[in-house]
Amino acid sequence: MGGVMTVHSQDERYKGAAAEFGRALERLARGYEADPTLRSDLLQEIHLALWRSMASFDERCSMRTWVYRVAHNAASSYAIRRRRIHAGKTVSLDEAAERIADGNPEEIATEAEALPQLTQLIRSLNPVDREVILLYLEDLDAATIGEITGISGGAIATRIHRIKAILAKRFQDEGGRDGI
Amino acid sequence: MESKHPPRDLKSLWRNQPTEDRPVTLDNIRKNAETFQAQIRRRNLREIIAAGAVLLVFGFYTWVLPGWMIKTGSLLAMIGTLWIVWQLRRRASAGALPENSGMALVEFHRQELVRQRDAAKSVAWWYIAPVIPGVVMMTLGRYFQLHAPGRTLAWDHQIVILCSAIVALVFAIVWLLNAWAAERLQRRIDELDKLRSAGQ
């Protein structure tokens, strides 16, 4: 705990985290950026933030919590910069639910069709809701999502309830049937 | 409308989606870190060049334009420019990689919103006010000490008044837009505070 971390141990910690969470970070980048080239840049940026952060990782939280915090915060900074260039409106979970209720969504027959639509839904959400849905889809439990996001237990439960309702209605999802 | 298709497990679908498996090596990361530092250096250089150009123009005015009012106004404009550049540098974090990147996400968002709100709220004193003494003094100098050739004095004064009114209007609009932005940001900060403190 504490103390000055050597460059070597920073590198080692980064390598361990990248090996364990690399694919999750790639999925996270997909939730933020549609353009493949820009997504690649974002992923590089996330890895850079992660590597830099390892110099100050003090084990006060788990490595998983740390990695998701760093990655989402890096992606969120990226999204803020992009919005300054391409102002795009994001919506809350409630607004997304209303849109789905008001609209007449086409049948989503295959998983190949469901995945792009799910990704599009994620990207359309406002930052906090986007983070929660991404963590939910990574199969993290409510307590862990609360620890990563800093959102209180009650608010997390409400948000996850809304997410499940949206996913069930839009995609006939049964993944959250047993709760998290 | 009820779906005719079988239910699916979106968590599995999301987690098992094919990824591109782009290798990110430590060498790449170090190169990116260097590129990022170079970008910051270039941004700083651009700011210095822009400020230098402004200082050069007003320095030129101080040197060649007649009347102590315009000369003083130009000097004040130079001081105001330096103040704004210093404030921009102090406040600049847009484009920067997050320093407190291990913070809880809501806390991180809040910190960014607070920074933006404070910048918008205080725009009057760090972005508008520093320019005003120079502009006022130069306008007074233009009104009392420097007249455009080929115009009557009354006509020239009317033009100066019109230009001053336009400048004042621009300042007012900038201030108003920022005040509205600060209010919007405060509402978002309040929403985040609710999320942190209690269930919704």
Q: What is the pLDDT of residues A42-91, one digit of tens each?
A: 999 999 999 999 998 888 899 999 999 999 999 988 888 777 655 567 88
Q: Which residues of B touch A69 (CB under 8 A)?
A: 101-105, 108
With cut-offs at 50, 70 and 90, classify the pLDDT of residue A178.
very low
Q: What is the mean pLDDT of residues B76-81?
A: 94
Same fold, A7-85 and A93-171: no
Domain that holds residue B165: 31-197
The predicted pLDDT at position B27 comes to 86
Give the range among A106-120, A133-147, B33-47, B161-175 with minimum mean pLDDT.
Answer: A106-120
The predicted pLDDT at position B24 comes to 79
Q: Which residues of A touch B190 (CB under 8 A)?
A: none
In one-letter notation, the amino acid at residue A7 is V
Give B99 to chain A, closest Cα distance, Å. 8
Of A155, A160, A157, the residue nearest A173 (C-alpha): A160
For the cut 90, the answer to whether the pLDDT of residue A95 exceeds it is no
Of A141, A55, A46, A111, the residue nearest B9 (C-alpha): A111
With cut-offs at 50, 70 and 90, classify the pLDDT of residue B3.
very low
Q: Which residues of B touch A47 (CB under 8 A)?
A: 24, 28-29, 32
Give the range among A12-16, A17-21, B12-16, B94-98 with minimum mean pLDDT.
Answer: B94-98
Q: Which residues of A touch B24 (CB under 8 A)?
A: 18, 22, 43-44, 47
For the cut 60, the answer to whether the pLDDT of residue B2 exceeds it is no
Whether B7 sits inside 8 A of A172 (CB atoms) is: yes
Any domain includes B8: no
* A15: contact with B, CB 8 A cutoff: yes
* A99: contact with B, CB 8 A cutoff: no
Of A49, A15, A46, A51, the residue nearest A28 (C-alpha): A46
Any domain includes B163: yes
With cut-offs at 50, 70 and 90, classify the pLDDT of residue A174.
low
CA–CA separation, A79 and A68 (whole Å): 16
Cα-atom radius of gyration of chain B, to the nearest Å?
Answer: 26
Q: What is the mean pLDDT of residues B171-193?
A: 93
Alpha helices (H) in chain A, listed in sequence order: 7-32, 36-53, 63-85, 93-102, 111-124, 127-137, 142-149, 153-171
Q: Best interface-test mutation with A: which of B194, B195, B196, B197 has the largest number of A CBs within 10 A?
A: B195
Mean pLDDT of chain A: 84
Give A6 to chain B, closest Cα distance, Å. 15
B97 DSSP 8-state letter:
P
The predicted pLDDT at position A107 comes to 58
The predicted pLDDT at position A109 comes to 57
Of B21, B92, B27, B96, the residue nearest A51 (C-alpha): B27
Report pLDDT digits (tens) over B95-113.
455 566 788 999 988 988 8
Give the range among A47-56, A126-135, B28-37, B92-101 with minimum mean pLDDT.
Answer: B92-101
Q: What is the mean pLDDT of residues A90-106?
A: 74
A 131-170 residues inside an 8 A Cβ radius of B: 131, 136-139, 147-155, 157-159, 167
Any domain includes B16: no
Any domain includes B133: yes
With cut-offs at 50, 70 and 90, classify the pLDDT of residue B119.
confident
The CATH architecture assigned to A7-85 reads: Orthogonal Bundle (1.10)
Q: What is the mean pLDDT of residues B79-105?
A: 75
The ipTM (two decimal places) reads 0.84
Split into its structural domains, chain B has a count of 1
Any domain includes B131: yes
Q: Which residues of B touch A118 (CB under 8 A)?
A: 10, 13-14
A35 DSSP 8-state letter:
S
Give A21 to chain B, closest Cα distance, Å. 12
Report pLDDT digits (tens) over B123-156.
888 889 999 999 999 999 999 998 888 889 999 9
Any domain includes B126: yes
Give the range among A94-108, B14-28, B48-62 with minimum mean pLDDT.
Answer: A94-108
The predicted pLDDT at position A2 comes to 45
Task: Indicate the residue of A40, A150, A173 with minimum beta-carbon distance to B9.
Answer: A173
For the cut 70, the answer to whether the pLDDT of residue B21 exceeds it is no
Q: Best interface-test mutation with A: which of B13, B30, B105 has the largest number of A CBs within 10 A?
A: B105
Q: Of how many residues is chain B composed?
A: 200
Any domain includes B44: yes
* A14: contact with B, CB 8 A cutoff: yes
Q: Which residues of A touch B32 (CB under 8 A)?
A: 44-45, 47-48
Whether B32 sits inside 8 A of A45 (CB atoms) is: yes
In one-letter notation, the amino acid at residue B145 is Q
Task: Indicate the residue of A11, A23, A73 with minimum beta-carbon distance to B108.
Answer: A73
Report whether CATH 3.40.50 matches the domain A93-171: no
Who contacts A23 (Cβ-Cβ below 8 Å, separation ≥6)? B19, B21
Give the range among A166-170, B61-65, B139-143, B182-186 with minimum mean pLDDT.
Answer: A166-170
The predicted pLDDT at position A104 comes to 57
Q: What's this model's pTM, rounded to 2 decimal places? A: 0.76
Domain ranges of chain A: 7-85, 93-171
With cut-offs at 50, 70 and 90, classify the pLDDT of residue B4.
very low
CA–CA separation, B190 and B59 (whole Å): 46
For the cut 60, the answer to whether the pLDDT of residue B63 exceeds it is yes
With cut-offs at 50, 70 and 90, classify the pLDDT of residue A1.
very low
Mean pLDDT of chain B: 85
